[in-house]
Homo-oligomer: A and B are copies of this chain.
Amino acid sequence: MPSVLWILFDGGGDRPSGGKTPFYVAFKPTIDYLTSLGSCGVLDPVSPGVRPGSDTAHLALFGYDPYRYYTGRGAFEALGADVALKPGDVAFRTNLATVDDADVVLDRRAGRYIAPEEARAVEELMSKIGEEVGRRYGVEVLYKSTVEHRGVLVLRGAVSHKVSDTDPHKVGAKIMQSVPLDNSKEAALTAEVVNEITRRFREASREMEVNKARRLQGRLPINAILLRGGGYMPHIEPIRERYNIRAAAIAGVALIRGVARAVGMDVYTAPGLGGTKDDVFDNAVKLAVDLMSTYDLVFLHVKGTDSTSHDGDFGGKVSVIERLDKALAPYLDNLLKNYVVVTSDHATPVSVREHTGEPVPILLYGPDVVADDVGKFSELTCWRGALGRLRGIDVMPILGSYLTLTEKFGE
């Protein structure tokens, strides 16, 4: 049985500057050889012109309509932090902050830099508060620090995401009371729990050891936690059931690992794959090829193209593409017997340094896929190809069809 290797260059799409793009100039003989044998096209990750986040784009690429399944930042932020969410869990994005005696926000990020040991101290404190509040209200409370001042708070039980933020979203305003946004008793309970956690953290954080040190160093104390973007974890039918496809994802980035796990993919990582521009891909590619013997689809996420784009680093972006291609080369014979997809989750033009809404190039190689005239994988060439213009949500059904795994619609 053939299987699919799907290589995704995060933010790989670009706009021509001086007539060229990183995909166009990169020396990538393996990908371009597959391109010369396969079908190309352009892909709107969500729909034409929509500027996707990596989370919404990956949901679409994995075959899940993001307008239905993207239920707010909180849930996907939690997934991104490797918190295992269950359907119905409500998750909030949190900020550690500094407030004055009247609960007025002085800094929404408590100076932004939070040392690892400070983050751990906050996690310990939140664990204690969560246990007490959780016991009192009959819910489960989880907190995890992520990067700098950021974290996630997850409530599990008879809770609802229909509550307002405590984060006033600006300096000089007081911490808000969370209020229920509908008449359900779940929303009423959730607002109460949120307010109680907020109040207790406010009191208990004052005495945290790390704050004594911070004050001595002239740094702002961490004395409040602000919640926003409450979202619930949707019920997602696993990819195995929806598409009858056994899928694995290899990714170093927490957010992508989270989305892959949410749709029921088995998630792997590999030495060298840290999710940075300096990633080394040899182990990741080797693992991908190995996994192709036990999975129908192996998804390999390459983050460096996005990071370099946000930095405006054209040469760095080219280098990431070239290194991935070089890591593929030893497996060419094997790949030729299988299917290979190469694409991107959105454009992050080096000249813009932000996600944009242009379509990205896509390659579909397979021994029985139409060979079109395109011989180079890039934004400047793939639009000529046999695939035409597709959407992210189309990819999984196309792969399911080539693998003859998805069900027939009708007789």
Interface residues of chain A, those whose CB is within 8 Å of chain B, are 15-17, 19, 42, 46-57, 66, 70, 73, 76-77, 80, 255, 349, 351-352, 354-358, 368-372, 379-380, 383, 385-391, 394-402, 404, 406-411
The closest CB in chain B to the CB of A385 belongs to: B383
Contacts of A352 in B (CB 8 A): 404
Say whether B397 contacts A48, CB under 8 Å: yes
- Per a CB cutoff under 8 Å, which of B371, B383, B387 touches A370? B383
Say whether A404 contacts B356, CB under 8 Å: yes
Q: Distance in Å from the Cβ of A307 to the closest Cβ of chain B?
A: 15
Say whether A386 contacts B383, CB under 8 Å: yes
Chain A interface helix/strand/loop/mixed: loop
Contacts of A57 in B (CB 8 A): 410
The closest CB in chain B to the CB of A399 belongs to: B49
Contacts of A411 in B (CB 8 A): 53-55, 73, 76-77, 80, 255
Say whether B51 contacts A406, CB under 8 Å: yes
Contacts of A73 in B (CB 8 A): 410-411
Say whether A410 contacts B52, CB under 8 Å: yes
Q: Distance in Å from the Cβ of A374 to the closest Cβ of chain B?
A: 11
Contacts of A409 in B (CB 8 A): 46, 50-53, 56, 66, 70
Say whether A16 contacts B370, CB under 8 Å: yes
Say whether A70 contacts B410, CB under 8 Å: yes
Contacts of A357 in B (CB 8 A): 397-398, 400-401, 406
- Per a CB cutoff under 8 Å, which of B255, B397, B400, B408 touches A47? B397
Bound state CA distance, A146 and B370, in angstroms? Answer: 39
Contacts of A371 in B (CB 8 A): 16, 19, 380
Say whether B56 contacts A401, CB under 8 Å: no
Q: Distance in Å from the Cβ of A23 to the closest Cβ of chain B?
A: 12
Among A42, A80, A385, A409, residue most surrounded by chain B Cβ atoms (within 10 Å)? A409
Contacts A370-B16, A388-B388: A49 and B398 contacting too (C-beta < 8 A)? yes
Contacts A66-B409, A349-B368, A368-B349: A401 and B47 contacting too (C-beta < 8 A)? no
Q: A49-B394, A370-B379 are in contact. List 8 more A-B contacts (CB 8 A).
A: A15-B368, A19-B371, A49-B396, A49-B406, A51-B406, A73-B410, A358-B402, A372-B383
Say whether A17 contacts B368, CB under 8 Å: yes
The closest CB in chain B to the CB of A396 belongs to: B49
Contacts A370-B379, A388-B42, A401-B51: A355 and B394 contacting too (C-beta < 8 A)? no
Among A51, A54, A358, A380, residue most surrounded by chain B Cβ atoms (within 10 Å)? A51
Say whether A388 contacts B389, CB under 8 Å: yes
Contacts of A407 in B (CB 8 A): 51
Q: Distance in Å from the Cβ of A230 to the closest Cβ of chain B?
A: 15
Contacts A352-B404, A356-B402: A50 and B370 contacting too (C-beta < 8 A)? no
Contacts of A401 in B (CB 8 A): 49-51, 356-358
Q: Distance in Å from the Cβ of A71 to the closest Cβ of chain B?
A: 11
The closest CB in chain B to the CB of A372 belongs to: B383
Bound state CA distance, A54 and B410, in angstroms? Answer: 7
Q: Distance in Å from the Cβ of A40 to the closest Cβ of chain B?
A: 10
- Per a CB cutoff under 8 Å, which of B49, B66, B369, B391 touches A410? B66
Q: Distance in Å from the Cβ of A92 to the closest Cβ of chain B?
A: 14
Contacts of A379 in B (CB 8 A): 370
Bound state CA distance, A397 and B46, in angstroms? Answer: 11
Among A255, A383, A402, A407, residue most surrounded by chain B Cβ atoms (within 10 Å)? A383
Contacts of A70 in B (CB 8 A): 409-410
Counting from the closest, the 6 A-B pairs by CB-CB distance are A53-B410, A49-B397, A357-B401, A56-B410, A388-B389, A49-B398
Q: Distance in Å from the Cβ of A378 to the closest Cβ of chain B?
A: 10
